[in-house]
Amino acid sequence: MTIQIKKKKIVVVGVGSVGSTTAYTLLLRQRMTELVLIDYNKDKAYGDALDMNHGLPFVGQTNVYAGDYSDCVDADIIIIAAGAAQKPGETRIDLLKKNVEIFDGIISSITKYNKTGIILVATNPVDILSYYSWKKSGFPVNRVIGSGTLLDSARLRYLISEKINVDPRSVHAHIVGEHGDSETPIWSLANYAGVTLSLTDEQKEEIVEETRRAAYKIIDAKGATYYAIALALDRIVTAILRNESSILTVSTLVKDYHGISDVYIGVPSIVDASGVREVVQVPMTEQEEELFRSSAYKLQEEIEKAKI
């Protein structure tokens, strides 16, 4: 009897620090049967694919190769990690103009060959580029997802866990809003085992500041962030491929979410095989709601400026 294995195909567009680390993470965790690497630097994509292939005897059977956009044809998930990198001292919003131009060609090339997959955006500024990708692609909104504040929420959970000496996996806390300087922690819901956190306002401020500055600190120290975002992208991919209905703080289009509409922004969402199945409207205090709206207005202003 022949066992039929359901093929799962993932394409990674852009194999710089984030793209190559994400591809390697997906390979190590055996998330797919076929992995395609696309980059304008074809030698880099070829070298990464060859390097990964040499490790297959240690991890299992996956078809890894450097390809082009025609290889997107039957992909389940297309991860976009291409674009200009954030430089020391540069904000994610500073990257907008450069990366919108790059995305214009990328999205056109993807949709020429693929109309049914899920686009997962990692490039910054991720909320605006996810919104642009949705508009440009013509895909249903559930099938264009940004990594959002999933990594920010993970950083928050880690820093809280350090303060209270609890496994970070047991800490439940969300950051909503922009993946950037205006992100907002929902302290009113943060807990471990249902227990409200007994942190002082000073400790909370310290944790929030460290969460917001995390990427800048890493970029100053080594030039780029890539390990944790690769794990965050792997988490989203897993929720999709396994049809998990997991609640993840991804970037998606909101409609009357605490008074905010028509912007991609990081909010807790149910992620399954369809992409974002549903946005979860979490309760917020008046102050949290005000900060969330302010974050959304900032993104909307940038979208308007960029004429997206």
Q: Over the stretch 159-215, which tens digit does the pLDDT of each residue have?
A: 999 999 999 999 999 999 999 999 999 999 999 999 999 999 999 999 999 999 999
End-to-end CA distance of the chain: 54
Mean pLDDT across 224-252: 97
CATH 3.40.50.720: which residues of the chain? Answer: 9-146
Confidence of residue 1 (pLDDT cuts 50, 70, 90): very low
In the chain, residues under CATH classification 3.90.110.10 are 150-305
Q: If one looks up domain 9-146 in CATH, what number appears? A: 3.40.50.720
List strand residue ranges (DSSP E) for the chain, in order. Answer: 9-13, 34-38, 63-66, 77-80, 118-121, 144-146, 171-172, 175-176, 184-185, 191-192, 195-196, 246-253, 264-272, 275-279
Strand-strand pairing, 195-196 and 191-192: antiparallel
Query: Measured between alpha carbons, how far is 292 from 241 in angstroms, rounded to an integer?
Result: 30
Give the residue carrying structure tokens 């880690």. Answer: 158
Residue 18 · residue 122 · CB < 8 Å: yes
Please name the residues in contact with 218: beta carbons below 8 A apart, sequence gap of 6 or more: 224, 225
Is domain 150-305 classified as CATH 3.80.10.10? no
Q: Which residues contact 206 (CB under 8 A, 6 or more apart)?
A: none
Q: Among all residues, which ones are annotated catalytic?
A: 179
* pLDDT at position 92: 62
* pLDDT at 5 > cutoff 70: no
Distance CA 237, CA 277 (A): 14
What's the CA gap between 41 and 16, in Å, rounded?
10
Residues 6+ apart with CB under 8 A from 23: 12, 15, 35, 37, 48, 52, 64
Beta partners for residue 252, in sequence order: 265
The residues, ordered by sequence, that sit 6+ positions from 121 with a Cβ below 8 Å of its Cβ are 80, 129, 130, 133, 144, 145, 146, 147, 251
Distance, in Å, from the CA atom of 284 to the CA atom of 197, rounded to the nearest integer, reads: 16
Q: What are phi and psi of 4, to 5 degrees?
A: -90, 120
For 259-296, the pLDDT digits (tens) are 999 999 999 999 999 999 999 999 999 999 999 999 99
* pLDDT tens string 108-147: 999 999 999 999 999 999 999 999 999 999 999 999 999 9
Kindly report the three-state secondary structure assignment for every residue of 114-150: CCCCEEEECCCCHHHHHHHHHHHHCCCHHHEEECCCH
Residue 15: both structure tokens together: 């194999």
